[in-house]
Every structure is written in C-alpha cells, then in structure tokens.
Amino acid sequence: MRRLGSKRRRHQRSVDAGFIGGNEVELLRGGDQLFPRMLAAIRHAGSEIWLATYIFHHDETSLALADALIAADRRGVRVRIVVDGFGSSASIPTLSERFAGSGVALAVFRPMDRWWRWLQPGQLRRLHQKLCVVDGDIAFVGGINVIDDRRDIHHGITELPRLDFAVQLRGGLVDLVAQSVRSIWSRAWLGREFDDALLDYVPLRRRFGLWLTQLWRGPQRLAEPPLRLPPISAAFVLRDNLRRRRTIEHAYADAIREARASVDMVCPYFYPGQRIRHALRRAADRGVRVRLLLQGKLDYRLAGWAAEALYADLLGHGVEIYEYTPAFLHAKVAVIDGQWATVGSSNIDPLSLLVNLEANVVVQDAGFAAQLAGEIEAAIGASSRVGEHGGTGLRAMLHRAVVAWFAYVFLRVAGAAGRY
C-alpha cells in the first residue's frame, strides 16, 4: 500500500506542476470569435507583437490580419511572425510580398522552398503551435490556424465552419507564452541567416549582427495598468524536442488516471500511445464515463483509418466513441471531472505527442470547464455514436498490426525515441 500511495503522489505532483494562479482565461470558439479579438489587440498594440502558427493562409481573413500587423509596424510596434515551412508553403510567397518594405520580420520554421530541404534531418518535426502575444499583456493559445473557418486548404469552401477552439489569456501565464514564441521565432530567424550565408557567402558575423538588431529593435514596452483577475489556475504546457518531449502526453495520461467521474476528449487525429490508451481503458473499467469525439468528416482518410484500428478495443472497455459529421473537426480539447480542462494544438497521435512542436493551456477551474463541457456536449449531440465494432476477426487484427507498423516506421524516421 505504501508503494501505491507513493505512485499516486508522483502522479498528483506531475498534474499540478507548472500551474499559476490569478489568470484570466476566456474560451473562444473558432476564428469567428478569435480573429476579432486578435485584431483588436493588434490595433491597440503599443510595443510588440509575436505570432507563431502552422498555417498563415492568404485568404481574405488572413490578409486582413496581415494588414493589421503592417499597420502596427508603421506606428512603431515591433512585429515578429514565425510560420511553418510546410503548413504555410503555399502562402509564404504572398506573405513575403505583402510584408516587403515593412519592418515586419517573417521567419519560416524549417522552410521547404528547395528540393534538398526534404533530405535534411528533422524535416518531419514541424511547428504546429498557434500562439500570439501582444505587448506582453494578452496572449492567444489554441488550435486555430490563421485561415478562414470555412476554408479548407485541400477541400475548398465549406458550408459550416470547422469546429475549433482557442483561449485568450491575461496574467502570469502570458510571460511563459511570450518566452516560447520568442524562442521559436529566434530559432527560425537564426536558421534563415545560416541558410542565406551558405547560399551567397555573406559573412556570418555581419548576418548575426543584423539578426541581433532585428530581434531587439523597437520601442520599450509600455506600462500597463494593473488587472483585477479572477483566481483561475492554469498551466502552459509545451512539447518540444529538448527537455519537454512528453509533457503533453503525461499531462493527459496523469489527468485521466486521476479521473473519478468523467473524461471527455475531442481530437481529430487520434492514435494514442500505450500510456494514454491504458489510462482510458482503466478509467472506463472503474466506472468513469469516457467519451471520445473524433472526426466523422475526414480530411485525411489515413488518419481516420488509424483511429478506427483502436475502436474495438476501446469500445470493449465501455468507452463511448462519437464521430463529428456536421463539419470538419479540428479542435483539440478535453474536460475531466468538470474541473480539469485543456485547449491547445496537440492531437493525440504520434505526430503531435512525439514529433511536432505543440502548445496547450491546461486550466483547473470549474467555471471554465463547464463552459468547454457545454461546447463538447453540443458537439456530441450533433454527432453519430459508433456502435458495436466488428474488431475481433483476422481482418481487424491485420488492420491494427498494419497501423502499428506504420506508426513505428514513422517514429523511427522522425527520430523519436522510446516506446509509444
């Protein structure tokens, strides 16, 4: 019994680690709610704006945001943007042309503009975070890319907006978000300087000096009036390829292990590793209501096929599985026991949990959890429940084996170590 108690205390410490009180956290549904908030913050910025995103598209909604960033630069605000070289590959030329002649510094994380980029190590490790920090005072974190909710890059215009969420933050957590986005922008910008030096032989010393000037140019941060914040405890949880390789995976697994009443998870790309699968099965076995909301309208058939390989096993333990069919599902959120909630960029699959750069906000607050739970409940009400799944025959076994093999090969190619 003593060893079990010690194990429980270790889980509890890992769940609580990194939580900061006194934050203001507001749930935002889709770009329809997020982009007006971001635009308002950008238009009132007085010092600096940092933005990181996987996709920064070139549709009308995205270019309106780009123009607001240019206007901020013209009035003396330091503007720094980093986009992923794969996710934003189609729009980088348009953005570069749009920002040309301004002081907006656009950095590309792992660019894919030349064929030999594919041969460089680590190219599968993408920037998947969606972060924005304005004046060190307000931050936006979530799963929403800079693209209109009703536009899909591969499927065109859709009738209904994709289901997705973000949060608006004020308080002590904003500093952690700012540190993260500054770090990834600096990493991408410095990498660009090294690439340019190799191509045109400009001395690296000069380029490094230019990089430092670009990084620190701009007015000092304006003093902000003190905020009266509700006592919301929240944590900013990163997944990187350095010290925090499994932080988001552990946060999910630990919270599920502690669940006593309910676990609701929403995720478009679902193929968890052993740690989360085991936690979900054990939770359902001890009577916790476990519900998964996954995509029913597939944007990538391979992702849906991978998730289906796990249906029979989870259904056999009493896990409820729903497929969201009204529109594309892009949300990565969860609510556990009406108290623990998370909103972020991380899927529950090998790509997000072991390869990509991801960022989630975890909130311990009944009011916030209730609001997110209401959104999940409405989405489940519009979804189809997966019934008995014929997953015990030879065909089902081969399905699971093939998916597991593909996942193993992918992780080896991506350079991810350890069991999954």
Would you please indicate which residues are annotated as catalytic (active-site) residues? 128, 130, 135, 330, 332, 337
Q: Please check whether residue 160 is in contact with residue 149, taking contact to mean a CB–CB distance below 8 angstroms.
A: no
DSSP-H helix ranges across 17-59: 30-43
Give the SS3 label for residue 27.
strand
Task: Output the CA–CA distances (angstroms, integers) from residue 213 to 105, 205, 207, 208, 222, in the order listed.
Answer: 11, 12, 10, 9, 20
Using CA atoms, how far apart are residues 310 and 382, in angstroms rounded to an integer? 23
Question: Residue written as tokens 């476990």?
Answer: 290
Q: What is the DSSP string of 255-319?
A: HHHH-SSEEEEE-SSB---HHHHHHHHHHHHTT-EEEEEEESS-SSHHHHHHHHTTHHHHHHTT-
Task: Output the CA–CA distances (angstroms, integers) from residue 222 to 42, 44, 77, 78, 187, in the order listed.
Answer: 14, 12, 11, 12, 26
Q: Please check whether residue 413 is in contact with residue 323, taking contact to mean a CB–CB distance below 8 angstroms.
A: no
The one-letter code for the residue type at 291 is R
Q: Please check whether residue 344 is in contact with residue 334, taking contact to mean a CB–CB distance below 8 angstroms.
A: no
Q: Please check whether residue 408 is in contact with residue 351, taking contact to mean a CB–CB distance below 8 angstroms.
A: no
Using CA atoms, how far apart are residues 366 and 353, in angstroms rounded to an integer? 27
